[in-house]
Structure 1
C-alpha cells in the first residue's frame, strides 16, 4: 500500500540571484518569496509567494526539482520565516543542528541544480 503524502509547502522558482551558485558550492541555499529584501536578492532563489500549510518538522522531505532530501533539523525560527517571507536557509550538511535559527538542515547529498520554473516543496509521508 502506498503511503499518502501531505504537502507542507509548495512553490515554484521564479528568479535566481547572481550569487546562488556560490552558496550551493558551500552546500547552502537561501530561499525567499517575492518579498525578498533588495540586499538579499543576489544570494537567494526567489519563489512564488505561497502558504505554509503545516509546520515543517524533522523527518519531512524537501524536494527541489527532482532531488529529495530528508529534513534532519528545523531551526526555531524556520517555520515563522517560511510562513511570513517564504524564507529559510537550507544546509545540505547532514547535520542535526545549526546555530542559525532560520535554517533547515537536510541530508548531505549533492546540492540541486536550480532552474527558473523548478519546484520547491516540503512534504510529509
Structure 2
C-alpha cells in the first residue's frame, strides 16, 4: 500500500496566483507569506510530512494526479517550515530552483479553495 507522505489543502488563492498557470507553475505558501507574496501564491496549512518527498512519488492536487520528476534540495525544509514550494508542471528531470517540485501529468490542475494536496509514495 502506498504511504501518504504529506497532506494539506488550499485555504485561499491570491489574486495573481493562477496567472502562473500560464507558465505551468503554482506557488504554495503557508500563513507566513507576507510582503505581498500572498497575492501570488495559494495559501495552505503547513503540511505534516511523514517522510521526504522523492522522485516518482505521486502528487495529487484536487482531482489531478502527477508524477514527481525532480525535487529541489530545499523543498522539504521550506515546505515543512513555511508551507512553501513552487510547483512546476513541466516534467523536468532536474530541479530549476532549490524550492521547486517538478511534476508530470496530463493537464494542469483546476484550482479551488478547499482542494486537497497529497503526496503519496510510489510504492517502488
Of residues 44-53 and 7-16 in structure 1, the stretch that sits farther from structure 2 once superposed is 44-53
Task: Give 2:64's match in structure 1, choosing from 63, 67, 72.
Answer: 67
By how many angstroms is 1:32 displaced?
1.1
TM-score (norm. length: structure 1):
0.92
Is the partner of 2:21 in helix, strand or coil? helix
CA RMSD of aligned residues (A): 1.2
Q: Does 1:14 align with 2:11?
A: yes
Is the partner of 1:117 in helix, strand or coil? coil
Q: Which residue of 1 aligns with 2:47?
A: 50
Alignment partners' CA distance in 2, 1:59 and 1:71: 5
Alignment partners' CA distance in 1, 2:106 and 2:95: 17
Aligned length: 122
Moved over 2 A (4+): none
Contact kept in structure 2, 1:92 and 1:109, CA below 8 Å: no
TM-score (norm. length: structure 2):
0.92
Q: Which residue of 2 aligns with 1:27?
A: 24
Which runs of 5 or more structure 2 residues have no equivalent in the other structure? none
